[in-house]
Amino acid sequence: VGRLAPVPAGPQFLRCPLSGEVMAEPVTLADGTSFERHAILEYFERGNTTSPLTGEELPSLQVIPNTALQHAIHDYSTLRASVQARDRTWLQFMTIVDGRWVQRFRRKQQQVQMLERQLGRDNPVIVDCTHSAAEDGTSSADFSSEEENLKYSMPSRMAFSAGAAPRRGAAPPPRREDRFE
């Protein structure tokens, strides 16, 4: 199972220029720039009276809550959490689905290997047919018609050798002495 792409960081305008963190309580200064309340108040407590972004003297050190930005940050945070939850759910689902497909594939692979072993060792008709054709230098192309080819095809021989009932209208497998004249 692959990994999901990481959820990108929030837009830069949601981050405080001083702390670099997404703002929880954004405030706006007299010059119109926004900061996290505690970060800008600490900046002012150190005796600064200029804008941290422009370097210009601020006409006032008053901070005004930026409710529009606070709502945008809240909406973005909610959306981000929702996307992350959806991605986790999708990853869990895909892990389960992939695990089931792997299990099915392994079971089918084991069944194929078992059938190959049975057909290779335990099936004298198939072994006999393949050895006889190789010894005579004969192939199924030597039959006189396509219908003959179908009657004596490998699946028909396998069905008879496995003890399956012959299909309606299917010819019985040829006897050894009748096969190659």
Q: Hey, what domains does the chain have and what are their CATH numbers?
A: 12-111 (3.30.40.10), 124-179 (no CATH)
pLDDT band per the 50, 70, 90 thresholds, residue 51: very high
Does the structure show a pLDDT above 60 at 180?
no
**How many other C-beta atoms lie within 10 A of the C-beta of residue 85?**
10
Does the structure show a pLDDT above 60 at 80?
yes
Does the structure show a pLDDT above 80 at 118?
yes
Q: What is the mean pLDDT of residues 103-116?
A: 88
Q: Which residue has better confidence, 6 or 142?
A: 6
What's the pTM value of the predicted model, to 2 decimals?
Answer: 0.48
Question: What is the model's pLDDT at position 132?
Answer: 53
Structure-token pair, residue 95:
């892990």
Question: What is the model's pLDDT at position 169?
Answer: 55
Extended beta strands in the chain, E state: 26-28, 34-36, 64-65
